[in-house]
Amino acid sequence: MFRNDQPQHADQLPPEEPGHAPGRRSFLVASLGVGFALAAHPVVAQVITTPTDGLVAGEVKVPTADGAMPAYRAMPDGAGPFPVMVVIEEIFGVHEYIKDICRRYAKLGYFAIAPELFARQGDPAHADIKTIVTDIVPKVPDAQAMADLDATVAYAAATGKADTARRGATGFCWGGRMIWLFADHDPALKAAVAFYGILGGKASPPTPIKPKNPLDFGHDVKVPVLGLYGGHDDNIPPALIAEMQAELKGTASEIVVYPDAPHGFFADYRPSYRPDAAHDAWGKAQAWFKAHGLA
């Protein structure tokens, strides 16, 4: 039985089909939905809404080898070029919460863009939680996601509004794990921030389409990554976070733990939201990017 405040996350997903490997696939999602994902309802009252005044915001299409991938982009209404913030979604897709994250960064002066990385496998915004965690999210190959993130950066560069030499990335839940992989994949990132992303361990063994986890390579990542985790995260136990902290010793990356916070503490549209931890984490994320030349 799934509860809205504790939906099954990427950490808890069933294993992928044996031998399933990345390949060319057509897009099942041609455009983004409106509002919050179906599986995320009911949305709680404290939800944060960032207005579009002073911004250029809306859906765009990112060219990839397989066709046009939908994405949400928000940036200041000005000449630019602006530093880039790649925003990586949770398991619910690029729904209203992720769009609002883009607008929050645009208000800070970024060209913020969130690609729909699930678009070939299905539409999590209009699916029930069972479909999301069995038929969509676990079937996205890491290599496919990295190629799509590269395509997103290339799209941003082609607009003439983005300074991709100053690019960062942030991600949440499923996207938190992707942040560590993207930082390992793209050494040109200036900095990255991961919110409660899966780290690895016995519960997350390697698979053909997900061959490694952050614990396998954290000590080698040259991009400075700030990890923001909850001490009461049922999906990522404190021992695993401590193991990752040890892995990061001597690197430019670090992890901050909010002892009383659960998984999803930054998600203001859900009961898991913790305002104090979220406010502090948002400040730390901004400071992290600024310290590494992105503001």
Q: Annotated catalytic sites, by residue?
A: 173, 233, 263
Q: Is 68 exposed, middle or buried (0-12, 13-18, 19+ CB in 10 A)?
A: middle
Which one-letter amino acid corresponds to residue 40?
A: A
Task: Quote the strand ranges of 51-201, DSSP E.
Answer: 55-64, 67-76, 82-88, 111-115, 162-172, 191-195
Cα 121 to chain centroid, rounded? 17
Find the helix or strand (DSSP H, E) in which 226 lies: strand 225-232
Query: Residues with Cβ < 8 Å from 237, sequence gap 6 or more?
Result: none
The length of the chain is 295
Closest CA to 82 of 116, 50, 107, 63: 107
DSSP 29-43: --S--SSS-GGGPSP
Pairing of strands 111-115, 162-172: unpaired
**End-to-end alpha carbon distance in the chain:** 44
Report yes or no: 110 and 75 within 8 Å, Cβ to Cβ.
yes
Find the helix or strand (DSSP H, E) in which 229 lies: strand 225-232
